[in-house]
Amino acid sequence: MRWGLRASWAPHLAAGGLTLLVGLLVVTGLGCLSVTQSRCSLSSLVHGRLDLDVPYAGTRPAVVDRMLEAARVGPSDHVIDLGTGDGRILIAAARDRGARGLGVDIDPVLIGEAQENARRAGVADRVRFRVENLFETPLSDATVVTLFLLPEVNLRLRPRLLSQLRPGSRIVSHAFDMGEWRPDETHRVGGARVHLWTVPAQVDGVWRFTDEAGRVGELRISQRFQAFTGALRNGDEDLPIARGRLTGDRIDFAVATEAGSRRYAGRVSGGRIVPTDPAQSWHAERGREESGDETPQT
Ligand SMILES: C[S@@+](CC[C@H](N)C(=O)[O-])C[C@H]1O[C@@H](n2cnc3c(N)ncnc32)[C@H](O)[C@@H]1O
């Protein structure tokens, strides 16, 4: 993997190329400089017209490890690495954890390096790299998405992540969060932060709810990312929901009754919510007027 300036640049620098380099940086609007481990491909420097939304900076190996650990990446995962750089995150996912995946970057020189690095690491049969704008990459195949971008880029990506990824897919980001969509976990590695999200099922709306005794009522859910509020109407009772939480397709909430708090833990699947405990019989179906209304919060 390549760190720092290329050795082949040394003669140019010695021959007064330093002036030229500084000139190029100024001409390219310093677009390639970043706060940590700053580096750009020669192509980005010379052409300067690459539509970079984020300058290049490599994630340190210890942070890469923590990202993959936090996202519990394993052999059954398909990882999409957006803004892959020299491919180090995806290559580690394949080499150390047996995953497969795709890395995209807008810089063709970095993509060439990533392909070469994958070949050297012996994982070229499990990972693909291609030159692509990360805002155009289809995401529905991913079980894990890895990011080291910028806060505003994460925010622009958020609607695509929420609408294209399946419930239970994980997103792991080095350094930057996603605004109001709070991470489910944040880890610290040295001075760096790693944030993890699990894509929640979409449950916003009205559900027909059947309780343990077979009485039919209504479950109204107002979802905000992985959290929700609402109420459960059963007969004359209209009980507010407390601690409504989604982790992928798992749903968990409580309602306060006169007899105390009653907790419901279930799974969301195909327009139904069913209890995780097979001994329980309560369940919910999407109301007819709600069917197909699975537009995610963005
Ligand atoms: C901060 S670096 C991260 C590199 C790598 N993921 C890592 O963590 O080591 C961001 C990368 O995003 C790429 N990039 C910037 N804008 C992009 C865009 N619109 N589409 C695809 N890649 C982009 C840059 O070329 C750079 O390689």
Q: Which CATH number fits domain 205-290: 3.40.50, 3.90.660, 3.10.450, 2.40.128?
A: 2.40.128
Q: How far, in Å, is the centroid of ligand 1 from the Cα of 152? A: 14
| pLDDT confidence band for 65 (50 / 70 / 90) | very high
And the tokens for 127? 């990972």
Cβ of 194 below 6 Å from ligand 1: no
Distances, alpha carbon 283 to alpha carbons 123, 130, 188, 294, in Å: 45, 45, 40, 19
Q: Is the CB of 59 under 6 A from ligand 1?
A: yes
Instruction: Report which ligand 1 atom has the smallest distance to the Cα of 88.
Output: 9
- Asked whether 181 and 205 are in contact (CB, 8 A), the reply is no
Query: Is 60's pLDDT higher than 90?
Result: yes
Residue nearest to atom 19 of ligand 1 (CA): 133
Query: What mean pLDDT value characterizes the chain?
Result: 86
Does the Cβ of 88 fall within 6 Å of ligand 1?
yes
Instruction: Judge whether 61-198 and 205-290 match in fold.
Output: no
> What would the mean pLDDT of 15-22 be, rounded to a whole number?
39
For the domain with range 61-198, which CATH number is right: 3.40.50.150, 3.30.2130.10, 2.60.40.420, 3.40.50.300? 3.40.50.150
Residue 82 binned pLDDT confidence (cut-offs 50, 70, 90)? very high
Closest-CA residue to 104 (of 61, 141, 66): 141
Residue whose Cα lies nearest atom 9 of ligand 1: it is 58
The neighbour count for residue 51, using CB atoms within 10 Å, is 7
Among 36, 54, 135, name the best residue to mutate to test ligand 1's pocket (greatest count of ligand atoms within 8 A of Cβ): 54
**Domain residue limits, the chain:** 16-47, 61-198, 205-290
Ligand 1 atom 14: residue of nearest CA: 83
Ligand 1 atom 6: residue of nearest CA: 84
Residue 286 in contact with ligand 1 by CB distance below 6 A: no
Contacts by residues 184-193 (CB-CB < 8 Å, ≥ 24 positions apart): 184/226, 184/247, 185/70, 187/66, 187/70, 189/60, 189/62, 189/63, 189/66, 190/60, 190/62, 190/63, 192/60, 192/63
- Mapping DSSP to helix (H, G, I), strand (E, B) and coil, where does residue 185 land? strand
Indicate if ligand 1 lies below 6 Å from the C-beta of 106: yes
Measured from the Cβ of residue 9, the count of other Cβ atoms closer than 10 Å reads 14
Q: Which atom of ligand 1 is nearest to the CA of 146?
A: 6
Ligand 1 neighbourhood includes 57 CB (under 6 angstroms):
yes
Mean pLDDT within 30-44: 47
Q: Per-residue confidence at 287, pLDDT binned at 50, 70, 90? A: confident
At 194-248, the pLDDT tens digits run 999 999 999 999 999 999 999 999 999 999 999 999 999 987 889 999 999 999 9
Residue 295, pLDDT score: 57
Mean pLDDT throughout 33-42?
A: 46
